[in-house]
Structure 1
Amino acid sequence: MTKYEIKYMLEQMTSSVDRLTDALGKQTYIISDLWSEIGSKQEKIVSQSYEIKDLTNKLNSYRRKFYNDKVDEAKFEKSFKDFVGESTDN
């Protein structure tokens, strides 16, 4: 190989390295943006899971209250019918 061929190959390799470095820089920037987006979405998921837990607790509380109200109504009805002398079927 002549020195001109070696010089040409060296310039090609340098150009190739520069292009690869630029591509790597762009990918690093994109990955950084994706990580920040993932972080914000994880925070949103955590806040929504707390909200879901709170709403589930409220729903269970209402269910218990509704159930207890129905039980109280049934007890009252049974007591009333026993007082009146009617038979009750549980």
Structure 2
Amino acid sequence: MDFEQAKLNPSSVFDSPAAVATTQTLTTAEKIEVLRQWEYDARELQVAAEENMGEGPGELLDEVLAALNRLGAGVSTDQAAPTKQGGV
């Protein structure tokens, strides 16, 4: 498994966010890093869909957030950023 490729394009290496969370080939920190990229990508798709520039992420964002929660790295709604991309 190519970790660098997974960080750049998680869906090219993993079939689903759940597969990232359950893989034995990455550390927890690496899994979170890959899932954070997947979260960013899903949020970008959401923005594009709202601007009529493509299809939305469907349930992808929910799947990514669920995988992050399983790893103890979920998003705190108290500290959530005001943007869909999750940036500050």
- TM-based fold match above 0.5: no
Larger relative helix fraction: 1
TM-score, with normalisation over the residues of structure 1? Answer: 0.29
**Structure exhibiting the larger radius of gyration computed from Cα positions:** 1
TM-score, with normalisation over the residues of structure 2? Answer: 0.30
- Structure possessing the higher relative contact order (Cα contacts under 8 Å, 6 or more residues apart): 2
